[in-house]
Amino acid sequence: MNNNISTTNAERGDRKQNPLTSGDLRNFSGDLERFRYALNRNVIYTPGVQYVAEKGEAYWLIDAIASWIGSEPFNEAVAKDDRIGEMHFWTLRRIQGNAATLEAKADSPEKPFIVQDIEFTDFPLDKIDIWAGFDGKHWTLYLPSEH
Of 90, 88, 79, which Cα lies nearest the Cα of 107?
Answer: 88
Other beta carbons within 10 angstroms of residue 88's beta carbon come to 26
- 43-45 vs 87-96, strand pairing mode: unpaired
Model pTM score = 0.84
Residue ranges covered by each domain of the chain = 27-146
Question: Diameter of the chain by CA atoms?
Answer: 48
Tens-digit pLDDT string for the chain (147 aa):
443 333 344 444 454 566 899 998 888 987 788 998 888 889 999 999 999 999 999 999 999 999 999 999 999 999 999 999 999 999 999 999 999 999 999 987 889 999 999 999 999 999 999 999 999 999 999 999 998
Residue 101 and residue 95: Cα distance in Å, rounded?
7
Q: Domain 27-146 sits in which CATH superfamily? A: enterococcus faecalis protein (3.10.450.150)
Residue 47 and residue 53: Cα distance in Å, rounded?
10
Q: Which amino acid is at 130?
A: I
Residue 46 and residue 144: Cα distance in Å, rounded?
11
